[in-house]
Structure 1
Amino acid sequence: MTSFSRRKAVAGLAALAAAFTLSGVSAGSAASAASAEHREQKPEYASVTGSAEFVLPYYKDNDIRSFTFDAHAAPYSRPLPGGRMSKGLPTDARGTVKISHYSAEQNITYTSEGRVDCLVTGPGTATLTAIITKVGPGGPDSVGQRVGFSVYDGGKDRGRSKDRVGFSWNGVNLMPKGDAEPEDAPVGTCMAPAPYAPVVKGGYTVKHAELLPEPKG
């Protein structure tokens, strides 16, 4: 092979290698861009999960109280009558709440369960509501009522948990009526007091996500 032919062959091989390299880089870049775009388009949903026992800071007893949450945002999944609410709300949610209260005085555990209908979060905090669907023996006649909860996720800690919870009954959501004995006030969606009760066992995880805009169409 002549010197000219050898140079031509080497140049051809180099061009071919460059073409393969550029093609690979281009394909890899396109795949990475597509993957990033997919991640950006996929919405993030808030959630509150976990189970914990807590105490009432203003009332000392030997009772054991606990909440278990498995709540997940499901934006615009519960249409309401009228106007823009016909598509639902950005705070719509699904999941379950389980309530347990062991009374040391009565030596009995009262339980109830609820269906989550609303959830809104901030960094490390959440409020959610649920409609009571089931009440165990001896419990209050509260099926069909909405109750509210708040959660503070203090992070993963060694030793005593920094988590806290709050809830909408037990004297924190009353409707005063002059000289008459006050009654429990109705609870609206996602309404709950601040998380005032310290967790003493277990814990909660709050996954925060911004409220999503109304879907188009």
Structure 2
Amino acid sequence: MGKNIELGKRIAWLRTGRGLEQKAAAEAMGIRDTTYQKYEYGNVPSWRKIDQILSFYQCNKAWLLTGEGMAYPNGGPEGITVGSLEPAPDRRQPRPATPAPAQYIKEGSTAWPAAGDAQKMNIDDAMGKAYKILHSGTPYAVALYLNIQQFSSALDATTELKVCQDRIADLQDQVDALRRQIEALTARPASSDLPAEPLEKAAM
């Protein structure tokens, strides 16, 4: 998957934080020690090996892959300095706002394009760049992949919500129609409430 020196440093930091030698850590995870050593030197593990590393160290996946956040947000050997490695930096500081692309900024406005302006985007170009990033084997690939998953889930949830809202509106219309029918029926006088006909008229 390529080289990623920063990822290797984070893997090494996790190991030294546990006070383990490379060989002991590799054996505990079921990874060849020579292979594990290469990971600490920057070789990017396969997804299966990454899962093994995460399972062993029980650390934050986003931190391991991208360096964002904390290694142990729920508590753990966070903040411990071992050997020559410093503790994982806390990168939770807010980032400056990313300016909108110039082609989407209207004169006198800094707003992003509305949903109806999606056709103005170069979708083919964006897909090509996304494909290139996803196959780069870098932290940017992981970050983009995670963002795509999150946005896809959010879009699916929005679609499902719209369907539910439409169904609720239909049911409300039916309830309103039934209520009007009930009100109309209750407004009519019952047959027992009608005045009785005169007896002489009845005798005729």
For the criterion TM > 0.5, the same-fold answer is no
Higher RCO (CA 8 Å, separation ≥ 6 residues): 1
TM-score range, shorter chain: under 0.3
Q: Which protein is richer in strand relative to its size?
A: 1
The alignment's TM-score, normalised by the length of structure 2, stands at 0.18
Higher-Rg member (1/2): 2
**Larger proportion of helix:** 2
**TM-score normalized with structure 1 length:** 0.17
